[in-house]
Chains A and B, each alone.
Chain A
Amino acid sequence: MALAIALLIVVVTTVVTVGVSQIGVGEQKNMANEMRNQEASAAADAGIARGIMYLSKNASQIRQSAGSGWMNVASTPHWTACTNGSTALPCGDGTANQFDSNWTAYSNVPNLFSVSDPLNGRVTVYFVARNGTAGSSLPGRTVFYILARGTSIDGSGTVLAKQAYSFAPFLARTPDAPLIAAGTIATTGALNVVANPNGGGSGVPLSSWSNGNTNLAGSMQTCHIEEFLSTDSTYSYQSDADGNTVTLCPACACPNNASLQLSSSGVEGIDILDVDSNAGVNPDSTSFPADVFQYVFGIPESDYQKVKDKAKLISDCSTLGPTSSGLYWHPTGTGNCQMPANINIGSVAAPVLLVVEDTEFRMNNNGAFFGLIFAFSRTATATVSIQGGPTLYGSLISNQNINLGNGNYNARYDAIVLENLAKSLDNGGMYAVPGSWTDY
């Protein structure tokens, strides 16, 4: 009887003990799950962090159809439009649709983790972008989502996270004139300048804006684009992805007729805004920016390294060519920046912003430069030397003086080129859209 009672006690005690211990075991399971979740979550975060750098680095590829561009369907991977109702990653989360046909996706971003990396195989990164028109695979320039799926070390925990990024503006301001200098501007060659027709306001043309005297000498004249294009009929055309077309005319010049010009050698018209004791039509400029670097990039000159960090550093400017695009920086101590001979630099669709730091920008050819040249004098003088008959489609800016020597040079302000430059995704830097981080 006692035995029975003892057995009963043992059984009851065992049941109670095991029951109590189950609580501890459950707690351990929870802790293990929590740890897997933390591992997966950290992995997803790592995926987003690397994804943003990769997206930023490959900005010039994002809308590129040629070669290894992400719009080339021959490339793996490439942008593919999401479809309404798609539930598969990245357009869906596995069970429900997250991104409809107004979005386009770049799946399974490669190259982010090396074999030796502990995260290798545990993270999948996707890019999803708003497209211009529904069903299009071409990403727009506004919002990019970076999706990352991270898994725990044992593979049993998964976290899916996304964060929206936008490209910061590439230029603080579309330049207001084809020639801008913080010092003086002097011309001696055969220079034709096509004014920015709306530089000083609607219909207020600007060919040069300087904080010193703009001295028009040599055989130079400025005019509007209509008059410029009227002097020759050998045109070619370049378009961008948005359908804007620029008429190229290397043989055009401003007409040799005072009534069709805005300014000419010795005659300062309404398009010359300078500081020279009110000589010429316009009184002196009172609005010239104190910091030209900030005028271009939106950050003070003292922080120039931030821009330089984003730029492609080139010690040999002759490596530039028609497919170059985005921000290039020719640093000090690497000799003159000599343009390659007789080929175009950049294009209407993908212009170039070239910063020439402390050295000379040399263009001695008959090619064209699409974009913005910034002669940046930081510790020494950055100068400009142009010979031959090149055409600049865009703007030439100096934070010191501009001396345009001999040469048969066309400086054509082109709003399409400069707006494409300003909207360029390339190296503009990206920033997280606040409040957009979610996991699901």
Chain B
Amino acid sequence: MNMDFYRTFRIGNVCMSTKSCVRPAAMAKQLSLVITTAFILVLTANRVATAQQNPVKGGAAFTARDSSIIVSGKVSDEKGNALPGVVVRAANSKKAAVTGSLGEFSIAATPNDRLAFTFIGYAAVVKNVDGSKHLDVIMKQGAKGLNEVIVTGFQEIDKRKFAGASTRLKAEDIRMDGTTDISRALEGKAAGVSIQSVSATFGSAPKVRIRGVTSLTGENKPLWVVDGIALEDVIDVSNDQLSSGDPSTLLASSVAGLNMNDVEDIYILKDAAATSLYGARAMNGVVVINTKKGRSGKMTTNYTGNFSTQLRPSYNNFNIMNSAEQMSVDAEIARKGLFNLADIGNNADKGVYGKMYDRLQTYDPATGKFLLENTQAGRSAYLQRYALANTNWFNVLFRNSLIQEHTISLSGGSEKMQSYFSAGFYNDNGWTVADKVKRFTFNSQNNYTFSDKLSAGLIATGSVRQQEAPGTVARSTDAFYGKMTRDFDINPYNYALNTSRALTAYTDNGDLEYFTRNYAPFNVLNELQNNRLKLSVLDLKLQGNLSYRITKHLRYDFLGAIRYAKTSQEDLVNENSNKAQAYRAAANAVIANANRFLYKDPDNPNAFPQIVLPTGGLYNRNENSLTNYNFRNSLNYTQTFGKHDLNILVGQEVKYANRQNALNTGYGYQYDYGGSVLPNYLVFKQASEANLPYFGMQQTYDRYAAFYATAGYTYNSRYNFTGAVRTDGSNRLGKSPSARWLPTWSLSGAWNLDQENFLKDAGKLNMLKLRASYGLTADLGSATNSAAILKAQNTYRQYARVIESGIQIVDLENADLTWEKQYSLNVGVDAAFFNNRLTTSIDLYRKKGFDLIAGIKTSGIGGQDVRVANYADLSSKGAEVTIGADIIRSMDVGWKTNLTFGYNKNEITNAKNTPIIFDQVKPEGGNKEGYPVSSLFSLKYKGLENNTGIPLFVNEAGEVSRKINLQDIETKYLVYEGPVDPPVTGGFSNTFRYKSLSLNILLTYQAGNKIRLNPVFKSTYSDLDAFPREFLDRWSLSGDQKITNVPSILDALTNYRMTDAYPYNNYNYSSARVADGGFIRVKYVALSYVLPPRMIKNIGLNNLSLTASASNLWLLYSESKLRGQDPEFFNAGGVAQPLQRQLVMSLKVGL
């Protein structure tokens, strides 16, 4: 019995009309079986017919009907759970049956018959009847079993014939309770798949890499395929953006709309052979997700509930000064003249000292005194309160949240129709006071069999998400000062880490206490309440497939899907928020001139800056929508000639995706006055002069077509050869037919050594296969200028009345533009020993990327000094090892272990881009010839200056200096630190079982990468800033430079004389502020208890289990230099949050 069976394993009637069917007598017997046992036959007539035509060798001669006996029994798995849907076939009687919902079967057989039990995902079992009428069978989960298939999304291929590199993960094996994003659940589970949680906020995608990166400028994201349809992201978010903390990162991941409980299994396709039918989209690997399908038989109902809490972070894990330490540093800063009372009054940001100034200046007519007496005693008493405050911002801004997740699923059906329906609800009331998430999902799948030739399926899925997050705007990069800035950042995690603990959230009376930010009163709690981000996502998909068997060997398949997704992001900025008030801060002429949110009218050159938002707040909307169609037609031909197996597939695919982004900035929305709008006309005048339109809309159009063919040939079940070709066409490169089409191909072979006679009887060896593949894959690069790109852009003129619409050249034509391509070679071996108890899989690969897009500096004579072109080369190599072992496997006790290891090293072998220093030293890393993609470089730190404690570096001219031009293109004096992406990743999981109790522990690890420490140094600090404890070791006296690397705090005069040097900022980007990124994390620990069936049968339940689990518990190892900084997390502010410690109680009930 080969896998052909499973491809035809389809609910069918018992073939009432076809001539080649079983004889009526046998038919009647089968039918009666169906009726009497109420079990469902799920056989195709075809299969029965085939079985009849090819009697099993060695079986007894056909026996008369009256000599048959009825054999019945029960099929269960190793844990004793009943297995419904197992196919039972009798060799002699040619009968077949299927187990019912309780795993019971009944079949007519001869007394000396042999019964074969087969079930997807389980090792086949063959038992001799030996005259017995009762037979109980235990089937073992055979993830590495003989009859496994590889689902590529295009085909289902017998694993034995498959020569590509792929990994199958069953959803229940990778399940981490409480983790909602399926991409996060892959961490440490599949060798060669690296998952970096750059932010863990709900909806934000982790950085996923399959076998490392393949492109210098592209997104390097794998292709996600759900039920055969490639999943399009609603918003394209680039590599760097993923870690930016921008609101769009919460909406970028389409996988976030998928309920983990609906997933059946996941295939990760890694090499050219495995991904061949994805051709020119597969350069970064493919993740194929299959969702659950209905099964015929009794209706089953399952409920899964997760109740979890995320633990509040604590200062114990960080390195932040308490308020007393803080105030003593502040006192030093004050002594150094940076909090001069005369200057601080008009500062944009004011903390304890600024407030003291204000109070010293404010006369209270009621008492006839100033609010604070300007005496030593008065000032000391005032400062004393804050020195003792020791505010715990984590307690103020975070809470131990409660997250509930409920999923209910119904499955069942008849011969002609099976259905699966699930509905899920997720509710998170927020780890911080500003977060909230609600998600609803549903998934409905129905399969229909119209006749033995025609079958069809329908899938409808949908998800709705409503989320709240702290108000934020997109981050911008400022290469001049060398920093990433974000206006009005109120990210609670960032705030807690960066705000002085001497500040207080409440006054002594219990009212909110305000300090000053952007010249306006600021209290973080007030701000989080009045400056919010509301996100909503609606995602609907309707998918259908149709299969028509033209002949026994030829099948036509159609697959089509329509998807509509819409996300909207609303900034709700109340009139009482600091952000709205910053637009009105004009207390005096100094502030008015300094406040950049005021407007200087060019038509009135002598006037003061004016307020453009006199009343109300802001209501900004940003909406993205996606309309996506996918259609696929294919013909599949399968034939066996003796020892020759042939399988040919040809097909055609069309994709259509329109994306729209619309934005609207609403000024003067009065939240507290019933939502009336009172805008000031000046705001529109300003916007039109600054070319910041108050609304906008952009559309992108993605058109894609492809033709593909693949042929597989197997000789004698031992030698397998597969070849595939595909040609892809896309409109993305621009309106030039020359670049449009790209053919790709792959060749692969596998040798099933275990089938060879010399190994066939090697007792300990169950499976041994050698694989090799070579092929060309590709991806669309970031460039789209096969014809010149011209874009409309208003002219930058000084007066609104002379602004005209203009057109600019964005990119000149590049007639040679083409796809990014890669040759990859993979060799692998799969083996199983000791009755499949030890399995291993080893892969080695080498990839050569070419025609990669990169920038190149030109003569400028064509009109563009830096052009992008297909010329860069990238070579990479790697190894992957997976070892699984069933160390103890007995009825009561079990111990399973699984180790994955992935190594990937890449090097840019040709790139002529000329990066500026800032591109190379930023935390996300940069690209440079001769180094890996995303390499981290540093300014070379040369110690502290003798008499000032100011840090020194090697500058762009090779001299030791305070000053570095971060925009300079001379990067040869930078120090290479290492790659930002870890070369080594993997996981180690252990599952221990004692009777119904099991314990699962997963460790994940990564090594070999470098990370930049959080930028905490500045040339001037305000009295709002928190200091890390490193500052206790700071330079304070001449001579300290010999014992410390922590720079001094500048005095006002030195800072003034610094002119255009920013040494403190440079220090953040120096070799002194880099740590090793390697870690071992206790990712997940789960303790489960499955209630014994006899206990729950009485209350009408099929199964009931309880799991207590914890994720992201702690780092077993990480470099001490990190001092609490999470090595995966980029603390970018905005909506970014680190991985949270989470405790989960999970309940599963089956009816």
Whether chain B is bound by chain A comes out as no
Q: Write the residues of chain B forming the contact surface with A, with a CB cutoff of 8 angstroms.
A: none
Q: Write the residues of chain A forming the contact surface with B, with a CB cutoff of 8 angstroms.
A: none
